Each structure stands twice: as C-alpha cells, then as structure tokens.
Amino acid sequence: MDLQRPDSYQGGAGPDFNEHVLHKTILVGDSGVGKTSLLVQFDQGKFIPGSFSATVGIGFTNKVVTVDGVRVKLQIWDTAGQERFRSVTHAYYRDAQALLLLYDITNKSSFDNIRAWLTEIHEYAQRDVVIMLLGNKADVSSERVIRSEDGETLAREYGVPFMETSAKTGMNVELAFLAIAKELKYRAGQQAEEPSFQIRDYVESQKKRPSCCSFV
C-alpha cells in the first residue's frame, strides 16, 4: 500500500483536500487489551467472542468516515501488543497521524504501562501526532480495577482526550474513530478564519450520546 502524505497539511486546502489521502492511524497498547476487537467492531460492527489469539506482526484496514459532509479516509493499523514485536511496530509510528492508545479497565498492568507507551510514542512518533487514550472492556463492570476517573486524570496529565470503550457492545467505538477523523480533517483544511476544533472538548460533549456518526 502506497501511503501518501497529505499535502494539504500545509493549510489552505479546498473541500476535496483529503479525497485521495489516507490518514494513517495506529492502535497500540498491551497485548490483550482489545485492539483487534476494537478494529473489527468498527469495521464490521461485530464482536467475535472466544479464546484470545494474539496479533502477530501488524496489519491494516482502510475505512472511510464522513465528517461534516467530508469523506476522511483512515488507514487503521492494528499492531501486536506483545513485547517481542515492539521493534517492528516502532517503525510504523513515524508516519502515523493518529494513535489510539488502549488499556483494559480490568487489567491494572495494562493501565500502569500507559506511561511507558506514551514515552515510546513521544520517542518514535511525529511531535504533532493525535493521541487518544481508550479504557477498553467497559462492559466487564464486575472485573473493573481501573476507575473511569483514573483514566480521565491520566489523560488530563498528558493533555490527550479520553473515553472508555467496549469492543463487545460497540460503546464509543465509532465515536473514537470519528473524533480522530474530525481532528485530522480540521488540521488538514485549517483556515485562518475557521473556529478552532478542540478534540478533547468534542469528545467530552459527545461521549454520552448513543449514536453520533456517519460511515460509508
């Protein structure tokens, strides 16, 4: 796949600015937090229950999201969370415009490792990469060990948007990708007179809404 850099990132682009541009988005986080499941839910609207099969290497899915009447093409890369694949996935950070960083609300170490993931992201990714923190498996309330407030606090500390998701029920899955697409669209087409788009404010305002998005 030929990844194109969005020329319009310099600003001043017209309404079709990203019609042929793939915005590279990467899913990262510890093994088992639900990266593959989140992508399958977003792409196919389904959850495949059953035994856990760890991702080997890396793969991608293309998806078009319509935001404010504009088609935004996301190329979403699903990485392997296991330590042994880390050097492979680092190589992909450099071209990423957005990173969805996941932990599992039922797994404390996956949350504790978020700081290390953010250190890696700051080391290998572009300085202006869009980062969103997701606390996944929010449907498993009986096994929750990380409170929503803890996710909020960590996200605030790093200045990134946060939401809890469930790849099983679909809760906030579309919203997470839509918010990323909106931010990327805003950055690509930014005009001096345009009101600024704040992804964190947008996420906060949309979190509670049952449905929010339009996909093609």
Footprint of ligand GTP (CB under 6 A): 31-37, 49, 52, 54-55, 80-82, 136-137, 139-140, 166-168
User: Between 6 and 34, whose beta carbon lies closer to ligand GTP?
Assistant: 34
Nearer to ligand GTP by C-beta: 8 or 136?
A: 136
Considering the complex, what minimum distance in angstroms separates the CB of residue 59 from ligand GTP?
10
CB-based contact 100:132 (threshold 8 Å): yes
- Compute CA 165 distance to the chain's CA centroid, rounded to the nearest angstrom: 11
Going across the sheet that includes 162-164, the strands are 162-164, 130-136, 98-104, 22-29, 70-79, 58-67, 214-215
| Residue closer to ligand GTP (CB basis): 18 or 79 | 79
Least CB distance to ligand GTP at residue 170 (A): 9
Closest CB 130 distance from ligand GTP, rounded Å = 20
* Nearest to ligand GTP of 8, 79 (CB atom): 79
Q: How far is the CB of 194 from ligand GTP (least distance, A)?
A: 35
8 vs 36, beta carbon nearer ligand GTP: 36
- In this structure, which long-range contacts are made by residues 114-120, counting pairs with CB atoms below 8 Å and at least 24 apart in sequence? 114/29, 114/154, 115/154, 117/28, 117/29, 118/158, 120/86, 120/90, 120/93
Shortest Cβ 169–ligand GTP spacing (Å) = 7
DSSP annotation of 8: G
As given in the structure block, the two tokens for residue 186 are 């805003």
The amino acid sitting at 201 is D
Q: How many CB atoms lie within 10 A of CB 186?
A: 18
